[in-house]
Chains A and B, each alone.
Chain A
Amino acid sequence: MLERLRTGIPGFDALAQGGLPASRPTLVAGGTGCGKTVFAAQFLAEGIRQGEPGVFVTFEEPPAQIRQNMRGFGWDIAAWEANDLWRFVDVSPIGPIEALRVVGDYDFHALIARIMHAIQSIGATRVALDSLAAVFSRLGDGGNVRRELFNVGHALREANVSALITAERLEAHNGKTPNGIEEFVVDNVIVLRHLQDHEKRRRTMEIVKFRGASHSKGQYPFTIRMNRGIEVIPLASGGLVHRSSENRISSGNDALDRMCGGGFFRDSVLLVSGPTGTGKTLTVSQFLAAGCRQGDRCLLMAFEESEEQFRRNAANWGLDLEGAENDGRLRIVCLYPEAQSLEDHLIRIREEIDGFEPDRLAMDSMSALERIATERGFREFCIGFTSFVKSKQLATLLTSTTSSLMGGGSVTEMHISTLTDLIMLLRYVEVAGEMKRSLTVLKMRGSSHDHAIREFSISERGMTVGEPLTANVGFLTQPCPVMLDEIGGVGHAD
């Protein structure tokens, strides 16, 4: 069994299925600004947190520059140096313009000697080299450099340290670095990308290969944040999570509970979809109120309304959320979707869930987040998010706004409908010249449910569910469904 090194970089060890193959060099390749140097520094920083000293060999930036650049991530490198936890091997250019010419053959014995000396002097177990591109640009990329880099790699393996080496990558999607060599010198290759996708930028990390060790395949999003550094967001590996809970919880509305065969399942993910004004926020409010009444801890992530609006609406519907908030049973978090990237939102959501440990979660709305992302980014977010809440066995209510006032499908639904356990649709229905509200439970895993489309109303008593609408045509397929009996013919508003 190959031994693994837990790097400590958030999310990465999950991606690496345990960590880096220990004592074998790893290449981290990426273009300018991809985060290679941060990755290399964080590799050492996380090691120090675990009591493992590290050596940072810098070919490009002077140590003073690196100390300054990494300060923003909360890493006090100077303090670590003073405590013999971090040692620099400074191989940066002597002056701004390095006048360096090559005449004949040379070797890197001096570099290896300096690195070994640094390793031994602090008992380092991790070494970062940043970057090979700088070596090639200063010495060219002939056979001499390649041979000597091989010798450095060999020496690091002999020294029984885990080495991380950064390299340039001009072509973001290509399989090879421009110099081609590094992928043979090292056993493990990671690629960082910073891609532009429809005016949005995305950072992704991919483990291209580990020699002799398993790892997750494909590109995974990651963020670089102040006071944190890099955090990788591992996605679910797809496939349905087997629902384990048979316990039911109330939606907050008795009629709705009956429509769902007795209530929602404890660990289900629920989607409520409909045009604006159809009652999604009410559905959320009554869901949270029901939870608070039975002693659940409830968390609301609100992307559409302010806390004030939310409380006011709830009060109008006869739901006491303020009392629950004061008791600490209910927590409302309001965020501007545009304030940060989707990956950062996901991290914030996870932090809130880990911190507050709710039994119920509501997200109002998923559509607000969809607005700030690319289609692929949003799909990945949905997958990562739903797998996370399912792993927590958390009853989760999501709302989605359909783009047309009269209904029809939404892009959110397209992505998330396969991931959810229950889908509830809210629609306006035209009945004899009047707009009525209707709802239906479209799908519910693991339970029989009412298949009817029912009329409902909203008042100071909240949601009142009524009788099934009959002889309805095209609730889903037509922009505005009509009641045939009432009108006496087919025809709808265009």
Chain B
Amino acid sequence: MTEQSESESVHLVLYIAGRTPRSIRAEQGLRTICTEKLSGDYRLDVIDVIEDPEAAERQKIFATPLLVRERPQPTQRLIGDKLGSESVIYDLDLESA
């Protein structure tokens, strides 16, 4: 988790269920895309619901990987591990970020 202030225009949270090849692949792909496309003005949190079950209950999570766009509002969610391609940016309406 990166320690940053709350002022970023983009806040993404990636929920995974344990460090598996799938979740590692998803996280790496996502970080790459964010670095390339989001010009630094973003915050990415990764939460493992196996380690933090409370988070799973709060977010009512049942399928992972789950990527949640907390900011900008409204919240949007993507389920699945194909998070390393440009389409993620479009899927989350982040083109302007």
Contact = CB atoms under 8 A, between A and B. Distances in A.
A105 B57 CA distance: 22
B60 A99 contact: no
Contact of B80 (A91, A92, A103): A103
Interface string A69-96: 0000000000000000000001111110
Contact of A104 (B20, B76, B83): B83
Interface stretch (B5-13, B38-46, B48-56): B48-56
Interface in A100-144: 100-111, 113-114, 117, 139
Contacts of B22: 105, 107
A148 interface: yes
B60 A104 contact: no
A109 B91 contact: no
Nearest to B50: A113
Contacts, number: 92
A93 B32 CA distance: 30
B53 to A, nearest CB: 6
A108 B49 CA distance: 12
B72 interface: no
Given A94-B75, A99-B76, A110-B50, 18 more contacts: A90-B60, A101-B78, A102-B78, A103-B79, A103-B88, A103-B91, A105-B82, A106-B80, A107-B17, A107-B22, A108-B62, A109-B17, A109-B18, A109-B64, A111-B63, A113-B50, A117-B53, A148-B63
Interface string B63-97: 11110000000111111111100011001000000
5 contacts: A99-B74, A104-B26, A105-B82, A108-B62, A109-B50
Contact of B64 (A103, A110, A117): A110
A100 B79 contact: yes
Interface residues of B, number: 32
A55 to B, nearest CB: 13
Contacts of A107: 17, 22, 63-64
Contact of A106 (B50, B60, B65): B65
A144 B5 CA distance: 38
Max count, chain B CB within 10 A of own CB: residue among A92, A94, A104:
A104
Interface of B: 15, 17-18, 20, 22, 26, 49-50, 53, 56-57, 59-66, 74-83, 87-88, 91
Nearest to A110: B17
Contacts of B56: 110, 113-114
A101 B63 contact: no
Interface of A: 59, 90-95, 98-111, 113-114, 117, 139, 148
Contacts of B81: 103-106
Given A101-B79, A113-B17, A113-B49, A106 B57 contact: no
Contacts of B79: 100-103, 106, 139
Contacts of A101: 76-79, 91
B82 A114 contact: no
A117 B64 CA distance: 17
A94 B56 CA distance: 12
B77 A106 contact: no
B62 A114 contact: yes
B80 to A, nearest CB: 3
Contacts of A104: 26, 80-83
A101 B82 CA distance: 12
- Which of A99, A101, A105, A109 has the largest number of chain B CB atoms within 10 A? A109
A99 B62 contact: no
B75 A110 contact: no
Nearest to B69: A99
B26 to A, nearest CB: 8
Contacts of B53: 113-114, 117
A103 B18 CA distance: 19
A288 B88 CA distance: 82
Given A107-B17, A109-B18, A113-B49, A99 B65 contact: no
A100 B77 contact: yes
A59 to B, nearest CB: 8
A102 B82 CA distance: 9
Contacts of A109: 17-18, 20, 50, 64
Contact of B77 (A59, A99, A105, A148): A99
Given A108-B62, A110-B17, A99 B75 contact: yes
B17 A90 contact: no
Contacts of B49: 110, 113-114
Of the candidates A92, A106, A107, A110, the one having the most CB atoms from chain B within 10 angstroms of its own CB is: A110
**Nearest 4 CB-CB pairings of A with B:** A104-B82, A104-B80, A111-B62, A109-B17
Contacts of B50: 109-110, 113
Given A110-B17, A110-B49, A113-B17, A103 B87 contact: yes
B15 to A, nearest CB: 7
Contacts of B77: 94, 98-101
Contacts of A113: 17, 49-50, 53, 56
A187 B83 CA distance: 37
A105 B80 contact: yes
Contacts of A90: 57, 60
A14 to B, nearest CB: 36
A108 B64 CA distance: 7
Contacts of A95: 75
